[in-house]
Amino acid sequence: MYKYVIKRVLLMIPVLLGISFVVFFLMDLTPGTPADIIMGDLATSEAKAALNESLGWNRPFIQRFLDYIMGVFRGDFGSSYVSGLPVFEELFSRFPTTFQLALYSMILASLIGIPLGIACAVKQYSLIDSCSTIFALIFISIPTFWLGLMMIILFSVQLHWLPPNGSETLAHFIMPAITCAGTTLATLIRMTRSTMLEVIRQDYIRTAYAKGATKGRVIVNHALQNAFIPIITIVGVNFGYMLGGAVITENVFGMSGIGNLLLSSIRSKDIPMVMGGVLIVAVMFSIVNLLLDICYAYVDPRVKAQYKKGGA
């Protein structure tokens, strides 16, 4: 297993380099220069040209990209063109907000979606199955920004129960977590239901019933354990996306997270901030995927046997 982990960590390096190159290239294509952002419209052309020269903007694209990568390897992500603050410090200060939002959203989606999906599979075509299906279709169809705005109007403007924006207290995360969890919740319900339906029709499930095992024990110890890998995949992948910054949710609720920072940085062509944010997002997503693969081995012994067979 440890050899497999080392291989996956080493594979992250070319992936991150490729992502960095693509983002750096796309940002280079957008109009404007760093001097335009830093000095504004009132500065003279000579002053802007001198600043661009000092920042190395006039050098060839490949050289600028290689200089940036070498700086990253030294732990230097550069400074923001807009705020002038070190990129890593600003991203690190916003990471707790994004992490809390992703964690609360995933916990909410898992606590509701997985039990509902199991109940739908066990009681197929029942009232709870039909209601859950309609519920899932509604949530997966509602745009995230619209749901967030409607919740602000209802719970903040009309009822005055929850704060409309910010991320200072737990109350500030209630509406964003519900908004962010909506699509994941719907996906979890459908995936859990379909996976459980496939498993409970297998021969070993009928054998367990024939041996006198109770329905609850068969569902928990036999069916759910074998259906858990697709469920874990949905949870892990969506958690990785949320860690990458729930851009729309953070923007609607005015949260000081990585997603909102990335959106404003792209608008202002703050290249160091965009590059640093994308790298942090890519690293987090890669780590989540690695942890998912490790979880597979502990959930399903057959996966762990494949790792050993392959010499991992």
Tens digits of residue pLDDT in 62-72: 988 898 888 88
Using 50, 70 and 90 to split pLDDT, how confident is the model at 152?
very high
pLDDT confidence of residue 266: 83
Q: How confident is the model at residue 155 (pLDDT cuts 50, 70, 90)?
A: very high
* CATH T-level fold of 87-309: MetI-like fold (1.10.3720)
CA 155 to chain CA mean position, Å: 26
Question: Can you tell me the distance from the alpha carbon of 214 to that of 218, in angstroms, rounded to the nearest whole number?
Answer: 6
State how far the alpha carbon of 201 is from the alpha carbons of 120, 174, 197, 205, 210, in Å.
Answer: 14, 39, 7, 7, 14
What is the residue-averaged pLDDT of the chain? 83
* Per-residue pLDDT at 246 exceeds 90: no
Answer yes or no: is pLDDT of 91 > 70: yes
Buried b (16+ CB within 10 A) or exposed e, 153-172: eebbeeeeebbbeebeeeeb
Residue with tokens 């036999």: 222
Question: Which tokens belong to 33?
Answer: 């220069």
- In terms of C-beta density within 10 A (0-12 exposed, 13-18 middle, 19 or more buried), how is residue 298 classed? exposed
List the chain domain ranges. 87-309
The answer to whether 39 and 31 have CB atoms below 8 angstroms apart is no
**pLDDT of 8 over the 80 cut:** no
Percentage of the residues of the chain whose pLDDT score is greater than 90: 6
The rounded distance, in Å, linking the Cα atoms of 72 and 2 is 27
Cα–Cα distance, 187 to 171 (Å, whole number): 26
Retrieve residue 85's tokens: 């603050």
